[in-house]
Structure 1
Amino acid sequence: MPFGDDKINSSWEAVKELKRLGLSKSVDLHVQEIPVEYEAVRDLLPLLWKQHQPKLVVHVGMSWKATTVTLEQCGHNTGYERLDNCGFCPACHCCVKGGPDTIQSVLDMEAVCQRVRDSGLKVAVSVSKDAGRYLCDYSYYTSLYLGERRCAFVHVPPLDKPYSSKELGTALQVVVTEMLQLLTKVERTEKQPHNPSCQHHH
């Protein structure tokens, strides 16, 4: 959706390009545009998680400050005081009443970032721990909470500052592919049986 004074939201243009490019045949990619509105996020995200039951949700948003494709490590619960596109702000200034202050993604974004760099992608990628306390952060925390941390957030710069929609879409393709591969490794680790020391009772 349009964001502030920007008529074109680079994140949606990048996601549309990702949809055109696709992922591997084994990945069922669903794309959804979400309004820059707190109430829309609050109402829509639970329905999407329930409907699709995804292995991983990757939110993508535009940041005026970004000059790289930025991988956000965590979402924050409180500090939401800026008005959305409808002039609304949550009265509690938080995502989930009583929820933890921050929720970390199940994915190590530094590891994802390194894997993307190793791939030879010609788009700069970095990691952040502050998604901005606006709709991006609000969406991210909400999905982390709903999806037991199986979520990621990617911030992209405005179009042509310095990357085109095609370059951003290609970057998303590489980033999401690496995230899914790393998530598979995480799941394998979680499924490995623990081997506590043998205890004999006499």
Structure 2
Amino acid sequence: MEEQSKRVVVTGFGPFGEHSVNASWVAVKELEKLGLGDRVDLNVYEVPVEYQTVQRLIPDLWIKHKPQLIVHVGVSGMASAITLEKCGHNKGYLGLDNRQFCPDTHCCVEGGPECLQSSIDMDVVCKRASAVGLDVQFTVSTDAGRYLCDFTYYTSLYESHGNSVFIHVPPLGKPYTAVQLGRALQTILQVILNMMEQSEDQINCDHKH
């Protein structure tokens, strides 16, 4: 029986503010070049920094691709390492987007829980990605920043029942190159897909007994 390929969607953001070139999209394009092997069907999207587009696009991506995993990448001017975000937040969105818009409710999903956690253990991902020995640093965080990154993560976690990941990358050259960022994303995704496979094997194994 031939093994089914896994579908993975990865998004980066378009330009905003001082980020006329958004390192997140540059990193995602590098990842696309590197690929994730023959068994992974990788689809990448550039997301505009707009609340309303995110609210429409993220559910559409889930419906269109039915991916096993969706990974969102954003840039953070405060990051100096590749930062794995553990959770998304529902409230506190006051910053205006590229269209000078901000949700009236200042939240993602009215009545939704304040915080949604990824079902993927980011501490384990961080440890395993760090052990690969790339020339980049990995770290974890519980605050994705209450702007479009956090908003996207929460929206995606809500849609996917936790099967989403958010990764913050530093701006280009501060300190990493596009190639380093692309390799770092490739490593993280390979680690996560292996973890998902192991837990599937565990479930199948439990069913046999």
Q: CA deviation at 1:189?
A: 4.3
1:90 to 96, 103, 106: 103
Q: Does 1:157 align with 2:153?
A: no
Identify unmatched segments of 5+ residues in structure 1: 196-202
User: What CA distance in whole angstroms lies between the structure 2 residues aligned with 1:189 and 1:129?
Assistant: 28
Confirm or deny that 1:2 pairs with 2:15: yes
Cα distance in 2 between the residues matched to 1:184 and 1:76: 28
Which structure's relative contact order is higher, taking Cα pairs within 8 Å and 6+ residues apart?
1
Larger radius of gyration between Structure 1 and Structure 2? 1
Greater shift in the superposed pair: 160-169 or 184-193:
184-193
Provide the identity percentage.
52
Letter in 2 for 1:121: L
How is 1:103-182 mapped onto 2 (pairs within 5 angstroms)?
A: 103-182=116-195
Q: TM-score, normalised by structure 1?
A: 0.93
What is residue 37 of structure 2 aligned with on the other side?
24
Q: CA RMSD in A?
A: 1.4
For residues 162-202 of structure 1, give each alpha carbon's deviation from its aligned partner in whole angstroms, at most 9, with x where no partner exists.
00101100110001110111122233445535x9xxxxxxx
Change in CA separation of 1:50 and 1:79 when aligned onto 2, cut-off 3 Å: same
Quote how far apart the aligned CAs of 1:158 are: 0.2
1:86 Cα offset (Å): 0.7
How many equivalent pairs are there? 195
Shift of 1:54: 0.3
In structure 1, the residue matched to 2:78 is 65
Task: Tell me: CA distance 1:96–1:190, structure 2 relative to 1, closer, same or farther (3 Å).
Answer: farther
The runs of 5 or more residues in structure 2 that have no matched partner are 1-13
**Residues 84-93 or 183-192, more deviating:** 183-192
CA distance in 2, matches of 1:65, 1:52: 33
